[in-house]
Structure 1
Amino acid sequence: MECLSPLVLTEDQQQKVREVFLDEMRLGLAANPERTSSLLMENTFIPELPDGTENGEYLALDLGGTHFRVIYVRMKNGRFSEEVVDYFHVPSEKRLGPGQDLFEFLADCIAEFVQKRNLGGRNFQLGFTFSFPMTQKSLDVGILVSWTKSFNCPGVVGEDAVKMLNDAIHKRKDLDITVKAILNDTTGTLVMGAYMDKRCALAMILGTGCNGCYIEKVERIEKWLGKHLESEMIVDIEWGAFGDNGVLDFIKTDWDRAVDDQSLLVHSYTFEKYFAGKYLGDLYREILLTLTKKGLMCGGKIGNLHTHGAITTTSVSRIESDTFKGLLEETKMVLNDVKLNHDDDDLHIAQYVAGIISYRGITLVSLITGILLERMQRNHCTVAIDGSLFKHHPRFRPLMEKLISEFAPGRSFDLRLAHDGSGKGAALAAAIAERLEQKRSLTNSN
């Protein structure tokens, strides 16, 4: 317990995380910040959510990994009446080759989908989920800030992904499609959450990576210059990068540094490396490696613990399930997989480690959620959440409910799994974009 004490966040540290996050939010929204924030605080240009008037047919494109989806939905009186989805694989030469080739490949897949589903000969508005860091100039302009994950196409950073996709679509003569909205999966989750429950004002992804977005008052978005008629706007926080500028180093342990050093993008995505699905398994492995080397478990034998990726976040979730049920079976299997000799004491230590790193991650997410609930001051806020960590880790939902209540006392909220914000949420965003356009043309004609 002494060895693992750096993983336990003290009340003082929790208070400091709160103060630092609020300050980073202020800087991220400021017109002339005194220093750069680690939070992008991006205006998504979505000022309203589904209102039940959505009608018609829409397409959505969901790109964020090696597989992407083309989705067709039909909406009637604000509800989905039909949906069709096809999956496509993005080969490595498209993920790493010239950007123009990637977007032409996406357009080819859309055309294949339209032909296969007999959807040709009509006009479609398309919502584009593009799950990479971008700066938005409007609902249909998204400038790529940097590629992440397994993508690195030259000629796209600093360019508008919507224009590149529209150009590729219009180059083909067989498609009548206009990209109307660009968003990331977190924003899509909020839109999807609001479709399920009108009181939704906050959303997050807790999966391989993590991020959050919420509804902010426009007067607080100081960097959005000029006159605005909207009163509220969804702001994409991009909190996976919280602490990239060093403001969270006071909670960083040697194990966190080891995980960061072995990651693809060192010294970036600081916050999500504390607990997101891509990293939790390696964090766990690094801690067990230290404990075995110190002779505190498994007779000091390290087995395969030095192998990066030898333990996954799924394994941590399995061990946590054991703890919940008072069992040891899954824990034994995980330790056997990494060639560790163990007795019952070792199994209980392994469970304690899984619990303590999970608790730290849940505490960090709950702290931020509490801050946002206090900031928005709503009578009730439904929090829409998507992602494998929230779905499959047995401790996340119950502990988040408990801790958020402590961090935002008296605030009414509930956590709701909002599946497929990146798909159906994008189609809803296209419908919202169409409604906003109609409102604008009515205003202009009057």
Structure 2
Amino acid sequence: MANDNTYNPEVDFPEVFKICKLFKPTEDDLEKIMNLLDREIKMGLSRDQHDRSTVPCHLSYVQELPSGRERGQFLALEIMPTNCRIMLVKFSSEKDIYTSSKCVIMPHTVAAGKGTELFNFLATSIANFVKEKKVEKDNLPMGIAFAFSLVKHALDVGILVSWTKEFGAQGAIGKDVVQLLRDALAKFPEISVEVMGIINVGAGSLLALCWAQPDTRMGLIMGSIANSCYVERTEKCELYEGEEGKKIMVINSDWAHFGDNGVLDFIRNEFDRQLDSESITPGQRLYEKISGALCMGELVRIIILRLMKSGAIFADDRRDYIGIQWKLDMISLIEIVSDPPGVYTKAQEVMDKFRIRHCKEKDLAALKYICDSITNRAAMLVASGVACLINRMRLPKISIAVDGGIYRLHPTFATVLKKYTNLLTDPRFGFEFVITQDSCGVGAAIMAGMAHADKYKTDAKMFTMDY
């Protein structure tokens, strides 16, 4: 059986080694990225320079964090790129969370139709759900966890900026998502649901973990989208014009766009630029494209195809399937690197899907080396962002809510991320990455409960503080 030292990339596949060197940022590079991000965040939080920042730092208007002592029953609606989910969430004693949910598959005709049709469909689904659960008359607070870009004007006012490619509901962009849902729910007078507010996926993950771990101060999303949120001091949020006395604000960084102004060009290489130019959003979401889980497989595919054309790897094999854009996904990438050292069984299984069979072991070793190089760089670049936020908050210890398959399933991604976050973070500030067990919908339910308690200060029935 082969072992760790079977191949020396520089000697055994020099063309592969040469390309992978392009994906090895130095510590100085990572520190530079961290400092550039901090500058963009400061601009995003400021009144005068907000519009110039590629990290807009949207105010979530979530200004309280759960303690874990809250109790009650609430509804949540998750609106994600691939599906929607309605949840009934009950917070009981001893940090127990009971959830009952229903996944709603949205027909393409609805997702791509009129905005009114989309929200009517969601309202119908909610009405059916609360009737099934026999809570249709309880006027339960509902929170929305939303995976698309919003501009918030209040906790319950979120103006839709854009959909992703799966959605195209006409007439919804530029309108308040909360009001669109309220209007649709008003067509069902037989049910009573109070929509309290809307938050993004990162804030939902942060709040969900915070209920169980009260020192949670950051949410990190590494799935179909790349984003983060963190807890900022309200005094730093120059665009905030709300109630005085609120000391904190959960910020949706929207950091996927970091670098859209060219500041990250020094770290991007020819393969990054090719991926970007061939994407449906050229010149946009550049930080996501060099660090996000969604783009890792595509980068690997582009590199393999280049090397196949030069004869450096899988030289005589067919290229029609590997030539299909986005064909190599994150799951395939994880499978390739999940084999033990010197073993390439899963790597060959992945290549079989591309009709590239009976591969030479050296080619599979080169493939694994490419995948490791791409994922390691991504983890290092994410570490720059995480360290930036930790250093901004200046807290002795925080928990970071992590949501994303690449973190959970990849054998080394979490280790590399932690290593470089440690390297870049001021040693006075401690941190812990925690995989979120509860979905962002649980966080939306918590938000709804806290907003209800704040709105009806004399009514403790719905969201009690169990001291």
TM-score band, normalised by shorter chain: over 0.9
In the alignment, the residues of structure 2 paired with residue 49 and residue 382 of structure 1 have an alpha-carbon distance, to the nearest angstrom, of 13
| CA contact 1:293–1:300 (8 Å) conserved in 2 | no
In the alignment, the residues of structure 2 paired with residue 5 and residue 53 of structure 1 have an alpha-carbon distance, to the nearest angstrom, of 50
Are 2:42 and 1:11 aligned?
Answer: no
Are 2:34 and 1:23 aligned?
Answer: no
In the alignment, the residues of structure 2 paired with residue 335 and residue 83 of structure 1 have an alpha-carbon distance, to the nearest angstrom, of 40
| CA contact 1:244–1:270 (8 Å) conserved in 2 | yes
TM-score, normalised by the number of residues in structure 1: 0.94
In the alignment, the residues of structure 2 paired with residue 368 and residue 34 of structure 1 have an alpha-carbon distance, to the nearest angstrom, of 19
Alignment counterpart, residue 419 of structure 1, candidates 417, 424, 437:
437
In the alignment, the residues of structure 1 paired with residue 283 and residue 190 of structure 2 have an alpha-carbon distance, to the nearest angstrom, of 45
In the alignment, the residues of structure 2 paired with residue 213 and residue 78 of structure 1 have an alpha-carbon distance, to the nearest angstrom, of 27
In structure 2, the residue matched to 1:365 is 382
CA distance 1:129–1:81, shift in 2 (3 Å): closer
Count, aligned residues: 441
Are 2:437 and 1:437 aligned?
Answer: no
Secondary structure of the residue aligned to 1:271 is helix
Spell out, residue by residue over 1:371-428, the C-alpha distance to the aligned partner (whole angstroms, 9 max, x if none).
1111111111111101212121122211112111111152321110013332211111
Alignment counterpart, residue 211 of structure 2, candidates 189, 192, 195:
195
The Cα shift of 1:84 comes to 0.9
**One-letter code of the match for 2:275?**
V
| CA contact 1:243–1:249 (8 Å) conserved in 2 | yes
In structure 2, the residue matched to 1:243 is 259
Alignment counterpart, residue 408 of structure 2, candidates 385, 391, 399:
391
Secondary structure of the residue aligned to 1:152 is coil
Alignment counterpart, residue 297 of structure 2, candidates 271, 276, 281:
281
In structure 1, the residue matched to 2:368 is 351
Alignment counterpart, residue 100 of structure 2, candidates 84, 88, 103:
84
Are 2:130 and 1:114 aligned?
Answer: yes
In structure 2, the residue matched to 1:296 is 312
The Cα shift of 1:204 comes to 0.7
In structure 2, the residue matched to 1:260 is 276
| CA contact 2:44–2:51 (8 Å) conserved in 1 | no
Q: Structure 1 stretch 279-288 or stretch 416-425: which is displaced more?
A: 416-425
In structure 2, the residue matched to 1:104 is 120
Spell out, residue by residue over 1:158-210, the C-alpha distance to the aligned partner (whole angstroms, 9 max, x if none).
11100110111112211111110200111000001111211110111111221
In structure 1, the residue matched to 2:226 is 210
The Cα shift of 1:325 comes to 4.3
Are 2:191 and 1:178 aligned?
Answer: no
CA distance 1:214–1:78, shift in 2 (3 Å): farther
TM-score, normalised by the number of residues in structure 2: 0.90
In the alignment, the residues of structure 2 paired with residue 350 and residue 81 of structure 1 have an alpha-carbon distance, to the nearest angstrom, of 43
The Cα shift of 1:239 comes to 1.2
Secondary structure of the residue aligned to 2:327 is coil
In the alignment, the residues of structure 1 paired with residue 208 and residue 407 of structure 2 have an alpha-carbon distance, to the nearest angstrom, of 16
The Cα shift of 1:52 comes to 3.2
In the alignment, the residues of structure 1 paired with residue 73 and residue 23 of structure 2 have an alpha-carbon distance, to the nearest angstrom, of 50
The Cα shift of 1:227 comes to 6.2
Secondary structure of the residue aligned to 2:338 is helix
- 5+ residue gaps, structure 2: 1-16, 461-467
The Cα shift of 1:157 comes to 1.1
In structure 2, the residue matched to 1:337 is 353
In structure 1, the residue matched to 2:418 is 401
CA distance 1:440–1:43, shift in 2 (3 Å): farther
Secondary structure of the residue aligned to 1:248 is coil
In structure 2, the residue matched to 1:60 is 76
In the alignment, the residues of structure 1 paired with residue 454 and residue 116 of structure 2 have an alpha-carbon distance, to the nearest angstrom, of 30
In the alignment, the residues of structure 1 paired with residue 309 and residue 363 of structure 2 have an alpha-carbon distance, to the nearest angstrom, of 14
Are 2:230 and 1:228 aligned?
Answer: no
| CA contact 1:370–1:407 (8 Å) conserved in 2 | yes
Secondary structure of the residue aligned to 1:3 is helix
The Cα shift of 1:136 comes to 0.7
In the alignment, the residues of structure 1 paired with residue 57 and residue 94 of structure 2 have an alpha-carbon distance, to the nearest angstrom, of 29
| CA contact 1:133–1:144 (8 Å) conserved in 2 | yes
Alignment counterpart, residue 380 of structure 1, candidates 397, 403, 406:
397
Identity %, equivalent residues: 29
The Cα shift of 1:245 comes to 2.3
Are 2:213 and 1:169 aligned?
Answer: no
In the alignment, the residues of structure 1 paired with residue 89 and residue 400 of structure 2 have an alpha-carbon distance, to the nearest angstrom, of 24
In the alignment, the residues of structure 2 paired with residue 148 and residue 244 of structure 1 have an alpha-carbon distance, to the nearest angstrom, of 18
Spell out, residue by residue over 1:47-99, the C-alpha distance to the aligned partner (whole angstroms, 9 max, x if none).
11112342222110111123211101222358445321111111112111111
**One-letter code of the match for 1:142?**
G
In the alignment, the residues of structure 1 paired with residue 459 and residue 213 of structure 2 have an alpha-carbon distance, to the nearest angstrom, of 29
**One-letter code of the match for 1:367?**
S
Spell out, residue by residue over 1:319-348, the C-alpha distance to the aligned partner (whole angstroms, 9 max, x if none).
1212x5442111122223223363121111
Higher relative contact order (CA 8 A, sep 6+): 2
CA distance 1:175–1:10, shift in 2 (3 Å): same
| CA contact 1:144–1:158 (8 Å) conserved in 2 | yes
The Cα shift of 1:135 comes to 0.7
